[in-house]
A and B are shown apart, each in its own frame.
Chain A
């Protein structure tokens, strides 16, 4: 039973990181219908930022956390301005290929600059695990789950209660009509990228708390899983991204726990396929009818 709980905690921890990253995918997809393949690589750049600030410059962890989130946010907006804005009216596939190109560029650029081998990130803090009823829970797990829940609540409030959140919802509903109502569409899209990338930055710090390494390709599989989480929950839906993230994290941990860890990626994709076939819009997504 205690094993069950510790696996559940592991799953929730992993799932909250997936959920944070999935939110970035989901928001961007909701607003410009783009699968932002470069999103996972923003996390990778975030990890390298932490490494540079702490290991190379010797600054305290707080500085590294702020630097990581800021760098990720700026990078996300920069990518949007340079690569995606010129393609606003282009066919969707061109946008997708551009995203793949950016992803390649970041991965191989990082490999060129920092080398292909892993860089070890110094630990951010040092707190002993807490024991509740015989189950040892690491401080990282508690922190990860708490930070992601707080971020998600903050995001939900931002989207539902503020003016800019209203603008985001309007643009994702109907870009043309939003523009006619006097909403600055470009600024709103940039803001969405900024929020999504900031969440990726937070996710990056949390990920590095657990796996203290930075490698050029660390973002691709993480990004892919997070994207699967977003689709699973219903892309474009914020609660959906959370549900999807937790579902994938927990599934992965339990599959590993029963000794099938080599199959865990296959199980994740199989769940995705089954859900998409039964409910094509995802668990919490809205089914849109195509008008003729």
Chain B
């Protein structure tokens, strides 16, 4: 059997970096030259936010195999953290620094809350975990709504909404964060830690008996998922300029979960695609909006009945794999059985 040609790691990285940079430049040119209207640019920012949300929830749902229903709570933590920070330092720090620091703070705080909630919640399994995270999510929302009355501060402004948040989010920086988020999660999942997380999904007891610290890795996966939800929240705050705890209810968590499930749990590409489609489609169907949610619900049920693994299942796209197939001339020939086993 002839040796299969492979691409060295450095070239793989270079390939992907060039591709991402080209994509971002093209996107930026479209926006700067006003090829895209302001409205379309806004939709694109929302697409970016939703992609980060879906990809981050995918860590907990698809890779870790748990079912958290409180993702919007982490998003709320990040959104409020970054909004309050950027609002207070607006004008005192350069805009870019303020924005990045706000998002980092959002990620760190959401990570912390993720650890705090994850340690008790992950002792439970399945539906109990779902309902517990749901409870935590609702508690976060209710707290944000009423904390001002208790502490007497003017911090979150409760149900009236936090206004005048500096609008730093742009299409370019939203998608830069999408790239960062996908890169970090991808590399984490390809590392030893990622494999431990996948092992827990496949069989927790077996993973435990192989010496994997299941509690540690479960909390890690959960907290990383929370941290990126926090980043998405920060971007959302900078996109909207106004925050209201009502935006981060239980329905928002379900909406994110639906994106992940439709795309295929455990597939990053699936999450990205379905987040994009499920954000753009409702905007495109404005005139059809009365029927929108009904159709959406029906699609969800039919999808589960006829293709329970989601659109892409666990498939993930890899540019290097495609190029390797090309240079080996395997693209259009079916794999024989022996070769498949040899991989």
Residues of A within 8 A of B (CB): 29, 33, 35, 83, 86-87, 90-98, 100-105, 107-109, 111-112, 220, 224, 227-228, 231, 262-263, 265-266, 269-270, 272-273, 276-277, 280, 290, 292
Given contacts A98-B305, A272-B132, 7 further A-B contacts (CB under 8 A): A29-B127, A97-B257, A97-B304, A98-B301, A109-B297, A231-B131, A276-B128
Q: In the complex, A141→B6 CA distance in Å?
A: 75
Closest to B250 in A: A224
Interface pair A262/B301, CB less than 8 Å apart: no
Instruction: Indicate whether A276 sits within 8 Å of B261 (C-beta atoms), given known contacts A35-B127, A266-B138.
Output: no
Interface pair B124/A276, CB less than 8 Å apart: yes
Interface pair B135/A228, CB less than 8 Å apart: yes
Q: In the complex, A105→B265 CA distance in Å?
A: 22
Interface pair B139/A270, CB less than 8 Å apart: yes
Q: Which of A83, A94, A108, A269 is close to B308, meaning CB atoms less than 8 Å apart? A: A94
Does any Cβ of A come within 8 Å of B136's Cβ? yes
Interface pair A101/B297, CB less than 8 Å apart: yes
A162 → chain B closest CB, angstroms? 29
Interface pair B142/A263, CB less than 8 Å apart: yes
Residues of B within 8 A of A (CB): 67, 120, 123-124, 126-128, 130-132, 134-136, 138-139, 142-143, 145-146, 149, 205, 250, 254, 257-258, 261, 265, 290-291, 293-294, 296-298, 300-301, 304-305, 308
Q: In the complex, A79→B127 CA distance in Å?
A: 21
Q: In the complex, A104→B149 CA distance in Å?
A: 34
Which 4 residue pairs of A and B lie closest in terms of their CB atoms, listed nearest first?
A101-B300, A269-B135, A104-B297, A105-B297
Residues on B with C-beta less than 8 A from A280 are 123-124, 128
A278 → chain B closest CB, angstroms? 10
Residues on A with C-beta less than 8 A from B296 are 104, 108
Interface pair A227/B131, CB less than 8 Å apart: yes
8 sampled A-B residue pairs with Cβ under 8 A: A97-B258, A98-B304, A104-B296, A109-B294, A262-B142, A263-B142, A265-B138, A273-B136
B145 → chain A closest CB, angstroms? 7
Q: In the complex, A269→B135 CA distance in Å?
A: 5
Closest to B294 in A: A108
Closest to B124 in A: A280
Task: Determine chain B's interface SS by DSSP, over half rule.
Answer: helix
Interface pair A91/B308, CB less than 8 Å apart: yes
Q: Which of A112, A269, A277 is close to B123, meaning CB atoms less than 8 Å apart? A: A277
Q: In the complex, A140→B261 CA distance in Å?
A: 44
Interface pair A105/B124, CB less than 8 Å apart: no
Q: In the complex, A280→B145 CA distance in Å?
A: 29
Interface pair A96/B67, CB less than 8 Å apart: yes
A135 → chain B closest CB, angstroms? 31
Q: In the complex, A98→B306 CA distance in Å?
A: 11
Closest to B292 in A: A108
B333 → chain A closest CB, angstroms? 34
Interface pair B301/A83, CB less than 8 Å apart: yes
Q: Which of B142, B146, B293, B305 is close to A108, meaning CB atoms less than 8 Å apart? A: B293
B320 → chain A closest CB, angstroms? 31
Q: In the complex, A272→B134 CA distance in Å?
A: 11
Q: Which of B139, B261, B293 is close to A97, meaning CB atoms less than 8 Å apart? A: B261
Interface pair B291/A94, CB less than 8 Å apart: no
Residues on B with C-beta less than 8 A from A269 are 134-136, 138-139
B223 → chain A closest CB, angstroms? 18
Q: Which of A87, A98, A228 is close to B300, meaning CB atoms less than 8 Å apart? A: A98
Q: Which of B123, B134, B145 is close to A262, meaning CB atoms less than 8 Å apart? A: B145
Q: In the complex, A128→B305 CA distance in Å?
A: 51
| Residue of B131, B149, B250 ringed by the most chain A CB atoms within 10 A | B131
Q: Which of B120, B128, B146 is close to A263, meaning CB atoms less than 8 Å apart? A: B146
A64 → chain B closest CB, angstroms? 26
A130 → chain B closest CB, angstroms? 36
Q: In the complex, A23→B301 CA distance in Å?
A: 25
Interface pair A102/B297, CB less than 8 Å apart: yes
Q: In the complex, A263→B290 CA distance in Å?
A: 33
Interface pair B132/A105, CB less than 8 Å apart: no
Closest to A85 in B: B305
Interface pair A93/B305, CB less than 8 Å apart: no
Interface pair A273/B132, CB less than 8 Å apart: yes
Closest to B138 in A: A269
Residues on A with C-beta less than 8 A from B135 are 228, 269-270, 272-273
Q: Which of B127, B138, B297, B308 is close to A90, meaning CB atoms less than 8 Å apart? A: B308
B41 → chain A closest CB, angstroms? 29
Q: In the complex, A224→B142 CA distance in Å?
A: 15
